[in-house]
Amino acid sequence: MIHGDLVFSKTKVSEGIIMKQSQLCSILALGALLASPAAWSAEGAAGGLQGTVHDFTQATGLTPNTNPPAGIGDVGLCTYCHTPHKAYSTALLWNHTLSTSNFSWDIAKTTAGTDFPTFRGDTYKGATAKCLSCHDGTVAIGDIAWFAEGKPAILDPMQHAAPEPANIANGANMAGNHPVAMPFPYQNQGSTYNGVTTGPQISLDEWQPDPTANGIRLFNDDGAGNITAGPVLASTGIECSSCHDPHNKKTADDLFLRGTLTGSDTNYICLKCHNK
């Protein structure tokens, strides 16, 4: 459920809510950062987590703490996503409370006839569910399982709710979003992944045979619901982290992208999988 207030809301700033000058400055600075891709551009790409929007030790403007003693600035770089002990899931040692949304798209099939999947945020094993634990707007950013010997009060009461751009899903509704948790036609063959099989109308020659050669991360599904990184013939799929690297290590551009956001050459993110 949604906890806390929308400290970050630009509407509130423009409505003239009274706040400390320092808070206001950092919120405005963050607004400028989000508004301008150039503010965190290619120079920041591949530089690691520090100083990015996924560095929650730095996010003072984004996430004012109102739950002392443990709060923003007190946590480590990994805390909001991973924990060494008492994690929600052993896989990825995942620390962030998962969304209970049952994600789906607004249409049944892609043009190729591939079914869009439905999957629950708290049971699907792919990385997409981990991303959506923060990016569907239903769970507070600081709602984690374990930190410093206990489950903390919500570290960061702020959460981004619609229409924040970072909420790419509107709760369970994935309408308008590129397929994820879906099969990829690795080596120009159909795949079955997350219970979905590549549709019969797919143009198999219009895909890069092996996007991992282009810096894309692909995943495989063993058929029992276990998802690991790496393509396997006929059971390969894509997740959010196929296009984005949340750690900002294998990135080529801002927005944690594994390819460039602009252009038309082979580094352009879309051409790393599609052959159009």
Q: Which is nearer to ligand HEC, 160 or 252 (CB)?
A: 160
Per rule CB under 6 A, is residue 124 in the interface with ligand HEC? no
Q: In angstroms, what is the minimal distance from the CB of 58 to ligand HEC? A: 11
Q: In angstroms, what is the minimal distance from the CB of 18 to ligand HEC? A: 22
Residue 89, Cβ density class (10 Å: 0-12 exposed, 13-18 middle, ≥19 buried):
middle
* Four-CA torsion 77, 82, 86, 88, nearest 10 degrees: 140
Q: In angstroms, what is the minimal distance from the CB of 65 to ligand HEC? A: 14
Q: To which residue do tokens 């109102």 refer?
A: 66
Per rule CB under 6 A, is residue 125 in the interface with ligand HEC? no
Q: Which is nearer to ligand HEC, 135 or 224 (CB)?
A: 135
The single residue among 165, 200, 224, 262 that binds ligand HEC, judged by CB under 6 A, is 165
The single residue among 87, 88, 96, 186 that binds ligand HEC, judged by CB under 6 A, is 96
Q: To which residue do tokens 């750690």 refer?
A: 247
Per rule CB under 6 A, is residue 184 in the interface with ligand HEC? yes
The contacts of residue 255 (CB under 8 Å, 6+ apart) are 37, 244, 261
Among 16-24, 67-75, 146-154, 243-251, the segment contacting ligand HEC (CB under 6 A): 243-251
CA angle 21, 26, 29 (to 5 degrees): 125
User: How far is residue 259 CA from its own chain's centroid?
Assistant: 16
Q: For residues 4-33, which are near ligand HEC according to CB under 6 A?
A: none
- Judge if the upstream peptide bond of residue 246 is cis by omega within 30 degrees of 0: no
CB half-sphere exposure, 223, CA atoms < 13 A: 6
- Judge if the upstream peptide bond of residue 200 is cis by omega within 30 degrees of 0: no
The single residue among 75, 117, 256, 260 that binds ligand HEC, judged by CB under 6 A, is 256
The single residue among 72, 87, 161, 238 that binds ligand HEC, judged by CB under 6 A, is 238
CB atoms within 10 A of CB 57: 17
Give yes or no for a contact between 242 and 219, defined as CB atoms under 8 angstroms apart: yes
Q: In angstroms, what is the minimal distance from the CB of 20 to ligand HEC? A: 21
Per rule CB under 6 A, is residue 199 in the interface with ligand HEC? yes
d(CA 54, CA 47): 12
Give yes or no for a contact between 80 and 95, defined as CB atoms under 8 angstroms apart: yes
The single residue among 161, 216, 220, 221 that binds ligand HEC, judged by CB under 6 A, is 216
The single residue among 27, 125, 137, 160 that binds ligand HEC, judged by CB under 6 A, is 160
**Contact residues for ligand HEC (CB under 6 A)?**
34, 40, 49, 53-54, 62, 77-78, 80-82, 92, 96, 110-112, 114, 127-128, 130-135, 141, 160, 164-166, 168, 178-180, 182, 184, 198-199, 202, 211, 216-217, 238-244, 246-247, 254-257, 261, 269-270, 272-274
